[in-house]
């Protein structure tokens, strides 16, 4: 997996400074009535190069139309009361990541991508996946490292001769087989990812070089039972919110075959991917939720419900993973 180069690190640091400034302004506005008149407020001028709300909204909307990333949360069939709080924290955390990714996309490429152009649409999807990966797993964003500490990242590869019909089950089993999901949840996952593939296929990507891959970043949130709870003779079950990330690099020839073949034709599907699993620091996210949500609503000029729709997090239903 490629690492941040110096130019990319500068872009990421610039994005962090821009978003951090907006969050601090929001915090001051939320608490202005408590502050002494002698307390100086932040400079009203944001850091240089900060994108305007229109640019941010355009990028976030483009990610829905040409998804370089997908976020999925598992919602328990009968959630415990504290799970509702953690689900709200997951939504806030993912929105924060999406917004910071949008800042990075803008700072790297201030001119809007034309997603109706097959070359630019492909470049936009690849850039979205790249920056989402750097924001979450790069370890360079201190706030993110606090919310979701970087875990060990494992390199994986997959290659098989399949039909497009067989690929559905093979792909899901490869990526999600270790989570013990019931058949109904796997069917829901299949539906979500099929729609993502359809949107990417509609963009009719044109790759800039022969070596380019179709890149996609998956964020998967789920609940896991804390070890030593919930069993016979043990305290009542307690749960922790977990996050698994999957950074996919699908071979260009495989992608073209997958979207161009009939369901009965065999083709070689090859991809490399990197996976990581970590736990969400629920308490830390909870402390910053109001400021983050207020900032996102201000920057996008949208209500909380509209922000959730814009961020486009998907849901499946399954009980918490056993310890």
User: Is the per-residue pLDDT at 116 higher than 60?
Assistant: yes
Domain hosting 295: range is 6-148+156-317
Question: Residue 187's pLDDT is what?
Answer: 94
pLDDT for the residue 191: 94
Which one has a higher pLDDT value, 40 or 77?
77
On whether residue 322 sits in a domain, the answer given is no
The number of folded domains in the chain is 1
Question: Where does the pLDDT of residue 286 fall: very low under 50, low under 70, confident under 90, or very high at 90 and above?
Answer: very high
Distance (Å, whole) CA 77 – CA 318: 6
In a domain? residue 273 = yes
| Residues contacting 2, CB < 8 A, separation 6+ | none
Residue 108 lies in a domain: yes
Looking at residue 1, its pLDDT comes to 67
The DSSP symbol for 210 reads T
Residue 301 within any structural domain of the chain: yes
pLDDT of 65 above 70: yes
- How many CA atoms lie within 13 Å of 83's alpha carbon, on the beta-carbon side? 20
CA separation for the pair 277, 115 (Å, rounded) = 32
In a domain, 191, yes or no: yes
pLDDT in tens, 83-95: 999 999 999 999 9
- Over the stretch 31-51, which tens digit does the pLDDT of each residue have? 665 555 544 555 668 888 999
């Amino acid at each position: 997996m490629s690492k941040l180069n110096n130019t990319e690190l500068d872009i990421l640091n610039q994005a962090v400074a821009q978003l951090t400034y907006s969050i601090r302004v929001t915090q001051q506005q939320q608490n202005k009535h408590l502050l002494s008149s002698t307390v100086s407020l932040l400079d009203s001028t944001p850091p240089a190069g900060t994108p305007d709300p229109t640019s941010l909204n355009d990028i976030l909307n483009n990610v829905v139309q040409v998804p370089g990333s997908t976020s999925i949360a598992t919602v328990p069939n009968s959630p415990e009361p504290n799970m509702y709080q953690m689900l709200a924290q997951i939504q806030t955390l993912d929105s924060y990541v999406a917004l910071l990714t949008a800042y990075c996309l803008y700072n790297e490429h201030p001119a809007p991508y034309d997603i109706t152009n097959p070359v630019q649409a492909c470049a936009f999807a690849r850039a979205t996946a790249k920056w989402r990966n750097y924001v979450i797993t790069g370890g360079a964003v201190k706030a993110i490292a606090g919310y979701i500490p970087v875990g060990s990242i494992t390199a994986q590869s997959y290659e098989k001769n399949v039909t497009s019909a067989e690929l559905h089950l093979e792909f899901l089993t490869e990526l999600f087989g270790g989570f013990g999901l019931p058949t109904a949840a796997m069917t829901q996952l299949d539906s979500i990812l099929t729609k993502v593939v359809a949107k990417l296929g509609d963009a009719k990507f044109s790759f800039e070089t022969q070596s380019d891959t179709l890149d996609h970043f998956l964020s998967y949130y789920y609940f896991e039972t804390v070890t030593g709870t919930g069993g016979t003779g043990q305290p009542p079950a307690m749960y922790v919110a977990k996050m698994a990330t999957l950074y996919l690099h699908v071979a260009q020839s495989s992608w073209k075959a997958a979207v161009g073949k009939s369901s009965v034709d065999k083709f070689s599907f090859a991809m490399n991917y990197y996976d990581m699993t970590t736990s969400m620091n629920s308490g830390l996210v909870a402390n910053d939720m109001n400021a983050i949500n207020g900032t996102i609503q201000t920057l996008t000029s949208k209500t909380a419900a509209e922000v959730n729709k814009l961020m486009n997090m998907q849901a499946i239903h399954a009980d918490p993973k056993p310890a």
